[in-house]
C-alpha cells in the first residue's frame, strides 16, 4: 500500500486530499510557493517543500521541482488534484519513469482525451454522440467557414487542446467568423501553448450534465451517476447539483452507458468525468472528458457515500474496485456553491484580499471545503476560490432550502464574494423549478436590481479600509476614503484580470 503521498497542488483541494490520506494513515507532503508559505495545506501536511516563487510556471507547474520534492521526501505517489499538472501526460510519464506512482490515468489516456479533436474521433468510434462540426483542428479559415455553413449558425469555435471555457467563442453569423477564429486561437495559444481550434454546432438551450467515472487497472469501469453544472459565468461553473433534475430514468441510463463506453474507449484508470451537453430536445452530445478529479466531486460523494480520493489512491495502488455497478446507489440530493473572491456586480471580476472575517456555516448535511482561513489572503497569483460549500438533503427542494440557510450563515469580509449570487440563484424560480440552462447568468442575473448586492458592497468598503490599516497603507493614504481605496484596489485587480485573458 502507498505510505506517503505528495500533493502537487494547493488550497482547498490539497487539504481535501490530505484529509483522506490521514484517514488512510498515509503520510503527506505539501509543496508551496513563496506566497503560500503559511497556507493551510502547508500547515496540515506532515512535511512541506518550497518549490519556487509565486508564478505557477516557477513552482506548481515546474515538473522538475515537483519530482525533486517527491524524491527528496521519499514519496511513493503523487496526487495532482485538479488544475496545474493534473492533466499533463508528460508529468504522468515522468512519474512513471522515476518510479513514483501517479494517482491518475496513464499518459496515453490523458493525451487522447486532452486533444479535443482526437477525443471526438475516438468517441465517434465508440458510438458516443458528438455535436456536428469539423472532425479535425482546422488549418484554413475558409474551409472551417464552409463547415460552419453546413452545420448552421450559431457555431462554437473551440480550442483543440483546452478546456475550462478558454479558447472558446460563440459565433452567430458569417461576418464575425474570421475575427472570432483569430480571437479563439490567440486565447488558446496563451492558455495552452497550442492555437489549434475546431468548429462545432452551438446547441439550443444547452444543459451541462456530466457523469462521474471510476475504473481500476483490471478493466472494471463504473459510473457514480450524474451532476448538473449549467450555472456558469464565462463558460466556467459556479453552482453544481447531483443528480440532475432534467434526466428521467431512461435518459440517465442511456447517458451513463455512453459515459462508461467513453472511459473504456481510452483504457481509462482512476476517477474521471465525461461531460455532455443536452439540448432542448433532450438529445445529448459528448463535450469533453476531464481526466482528473473534478472541483464539484463533493456532491457525488454526498449522494453515493463513496470517497473519490480514497478510490483514486486504492486504484493507483493496484487494488480492484470494491463494488460493482449494481452496488452503487444514489441517495437524496446535493448542491454545491463555489465561493469565489469575485465581484458578481462587476462581471465576476476577482476581488482578492485578506479575509478579515471568515466564519463558515455548519449543521447536518453541510460541508465546507476551504483553502483559506480567517486572517489568510486570497492572492491574485492563483484561482480566487475561497471554498466550496456543499449541502445534502433527502430531496432537491430541501437541499435548496438548506443551501439558502447555509449561505445566510456564511460570513466573509475583506473581499467581495459570490455568496450573494449563489443566494440569488437558489431563490430564482428558474433554478427552483429546474428550468434553467447555461444561459442563466445573461438571461436572469441583473445584480443592480437587488438590494443584497448593494449591502455586500457596503460591507466590502469597510473591509477595504480595515485591510489598508492592517497592511500599513493607511499611513500613506490616510486622506483617502474607503471608497477611493476600494476603487484603486478594484482597478489593480481589473488590470491584472484583463492581462490574463
**Per-residue pLDDT tens over the stretch 5-27:** 999 999 999 999 999 999 999 99
What band does 500 get if pLDDT is binned at 50, 70 and 90? Answer: very low
The topology under which CATH files domain 132-201 is: Dna Ligase; domain 1 (3.30.1490)
Q: Which of 416, 400, 397, 496 is nearest to 456 (CA)?
A: 416
Question: CA angle, 71 as apex, 69 and 74 as ends, to 5°?
Answer: 110
Assess whether pLDDT exceeds 80 at residue 437. yes
Q: Which three cell numbers stand for residue 310?
A: 480514497
What band does 116 get if pLDDT is binned at 50, 70 and 90? Answer: confident
- Quote the pLDDT of residue 192: 81
- Architecture category of domain 4-103 in CATH: 3-Layer(aba) Sandwich (3.40)
For residues 458 and 69, which has the higher predicted lDDT (pLDDT)? 69
Contact 253, 220 (CB under 8 A): no
> CA–CA separation, 330 vs 34, rounded Å?
42
Q: Which residues contact 321 (CB under 8 A, 6 or more apart)?
A: 214, 215, 216, 220, 222, 311, 315
Give the range among 104-113, 190-199, 230-239 with minimum mean pLDDT: 190-199
Contact 207, 246 (CB under 8 A): yes
- Quote the pLDDT of residue 464: 45
Q: Which three cell numbers stand for residue 246?
A: 432534467
196 is catalytic: no
- Residues 340, 274, 123, 128, CA torsion sign: negative
**Per-residue pLDDT tens for 76-100?**
999 999 999 999 999 999 999 999 9
Average pLDDT for residues 428-446, to the nearest whole number?
Answer: 96
**Per-residue pLDDT tens for 139-170?**
788 888 998 999 999 999 988 886 667 788 99
Neighbouring CB atoms inside 10 A of 102's CB total 26
What band does 220 get if pLDDT is binned at 50, 70 and 90? Answer: very high
- Fold match flag (4-103 vs 132-201): no
What band does 135 get if pLDDT is binned at 50, 70 and 90? Answer: confident
- Quote the pLDDT of residue 450: 64
> CA–CA separation, 229 vs 67, rounded Å?
34
Percent of the chain past pLDDT 70, that is, above it, reads 89
Assess whether pLDDT exceeds 60 at residue 480. no
Choosing from 169, 207, 233, 292, which is the catalytic residue? 292
Q: What is the mean pLDDT of the chain?
A: 90
How close are the terminal C-alpha atoms of the chain, in Å? 43
Domain spans of the chain, in order of start: 4-103, 132-201, 203-331, 334-501
Average pLDDT for residues 163-178, to the nearest whole number?
Answer: 87
What band does 64 get if pLDDT is binned at 50, 70 and 90? Answer: very high
Q: Which residues contact 459 (CB under 8 A, 6 or more apart)?
A: 413
Assess whether pLDDT exceeds 70 at residue 278. yes
The strand pair at 366-370 and 207-215 is best described as unpaired
- Quote the pLDDT of residue 163: 67
Assess whether pLDDT exceeds 80 at residue 495. no
Contact 446, 424 (CB under 8 A): no
The topology under which CATH files domain 334-501 is: D-amino Acid Aminotransferase; Chain A, domain 1 (3.30.470)
Strand partners of residue 153:
none
- Quote the pLDDT of residue 227: 98
What band does 113 get if pLDDT is binned at 50, 70 and 90? Answer: very high
What band does 374 get if pLDDT is binned at 50, 70 and 90? Answer: very high
Assess whether pLDDT exceeds 90 at residue 117. no
What band does 191 get if pLDDT is binned at 50, 70 and 90? Answer: confident
For residues 476 and 391, which has the higher predicted lDDT (pLDDT)? 391
Does 203-331 carry CATH code 3.30.470.20? Answer: yes
Burial (0-12, 13-18, 19+ Cβ within 10 Å), 432: middle
Amino acid at each position: 500500500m502507498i505510505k506517503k503521498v505528495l500533493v502537487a497542488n494547493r488550497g482547498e483541494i490539497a487539504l481535501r486530499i490530505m484529509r483522506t490520506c490521514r484517514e488512510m494513515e498515509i503520510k503527506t507532503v505539501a509543496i508551496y510557493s513563496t506566497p503560500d508559505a503559511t497556507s493551510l495545506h502547508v500547515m496540515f501536511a506532515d512535511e512541506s517543500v518550497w518549490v519556487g516563487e509565486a508564478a505557477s510556471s516557477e513552482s506548481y507547474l515546474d515538473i522538475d521541482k515537483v519530482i525533486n520534492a517527491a524524491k527528496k521526501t521519499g514519496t511513493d505517489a503523487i496526487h495532482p488534484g485538479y488544475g496545474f499538472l493534473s492533466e499533463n501526460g508528460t508529468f504522468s510519464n515522468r512519474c512513471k519513469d522515476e518510479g513514483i506512482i501517479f494517482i491518475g490515468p496513464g499518459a496515453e489516456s490523458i493525451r487522447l482525451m486532452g486533444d479535443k479533436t482526437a477525443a471526438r474521433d475516438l468517441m465517434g468510434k465508440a458510438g458516443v454522440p458528438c455535436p456536428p462540426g469539423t472532425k479535425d483542428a482546422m488549418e484554413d479559415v475558409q474551409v472551417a467557414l464552409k463547415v460552419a455553413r453546413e452545420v448552421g449558425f450559431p457555431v462554437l469555435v473551440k480550442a483543440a487542446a483546452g478546456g475550462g471555457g478558454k479558447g472558446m467563442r460563440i459565433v452567430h453569423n458569417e461576418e464575425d467568423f474570421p475575427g472570432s477564429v483569430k480571437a479563439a486561437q490567440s486565447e488558446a495559444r496563451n492558455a495552452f501553448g497550442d492555437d489549434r481550434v475546431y468548429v462545432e454546432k452551438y446547441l439550443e438551450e444547452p444543459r451541462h450534465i456530466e457523469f462521474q467515472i471510476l475504473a481500476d487497472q483490471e478493466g472494471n469501469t463504473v459510473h457514480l451517476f450524474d451532476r448538473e453544472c449549467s450555472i456558469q459565468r464565462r463558460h466556467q461553473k459556479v453552482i453544481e447539483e447531483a443528480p440532475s433534475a432534467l434526466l428521467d430514468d431512461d435518459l440517465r441510463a442511456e447517458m451513463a452507458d455512453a459515459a462508461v463506453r467513453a472511459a473504456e474507449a481510452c483504457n481509462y484508470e482512476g476517477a474521471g468525468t465525461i461531460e455532455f451537453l443536452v439540448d432542448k430536445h433532450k438529445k445529448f452530445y459528448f463535450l469533453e472528458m476531464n481526466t482528473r478529479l473534478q472541483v464539484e466531486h463533493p456532491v457525488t460523494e454526498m449522494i453515493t457515500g463513496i470517497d473519490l480520493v480514497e478510490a483514486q489512491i486504492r486504484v493507483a495502488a493496484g487494488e480492484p474496485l470494491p463494488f460493482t455497478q449494481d452496488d452503487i446507489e444514489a441517495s437524496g440530493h446535493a448542491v454545491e456553491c463555489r465561493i469565489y473572491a469575485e465581484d458578481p456586480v462587476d462581471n465576476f471580476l476577482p476581488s482578492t484580499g485578506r479575509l478579515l472575517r471568515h466564519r463558515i456555516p455548519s449543521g447536518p448535511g453541510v460541508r465546507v471545503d476551504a483553502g483559506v482561513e480567517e486572517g489568510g489572503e486570497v492572492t491574485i497569483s492563483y484561482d480566487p476560490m475561497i471554498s466550496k460549500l456543499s449541502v445534502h438533503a433527502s430531496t432537491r427542494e430541501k437541499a435548496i432550502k438548506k443551501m439558502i440557510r447555509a449561505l445566510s450563515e456564511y460570513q466573509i469580509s475583506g473581499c467581495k464574494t459570490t455568496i450573494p449570487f449563489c443566494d440569488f440563484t437558489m431563490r430564482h424560480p428558474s433554478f427552483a423549478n429546474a428550468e434553467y440552462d447555461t444561459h442563466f447568468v445573461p438571461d436572469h442575473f441583473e445584480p443592480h436590481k437587488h438590494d443584497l448586492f448593494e449591502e455586500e458592497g457596503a460591507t466590502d468598503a469597510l473591509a477595504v479600509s480595515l485591510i489598508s490599516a492592517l497592511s500599513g497603507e493607511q499611513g500613506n493614504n490616510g486622506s483617502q476614503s474607503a471608497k477611493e481605496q476600494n476603487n484603486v484596489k478594484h482597478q489593480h485587480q481589473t488590470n491584472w484580470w484583463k492581462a490574463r485573458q
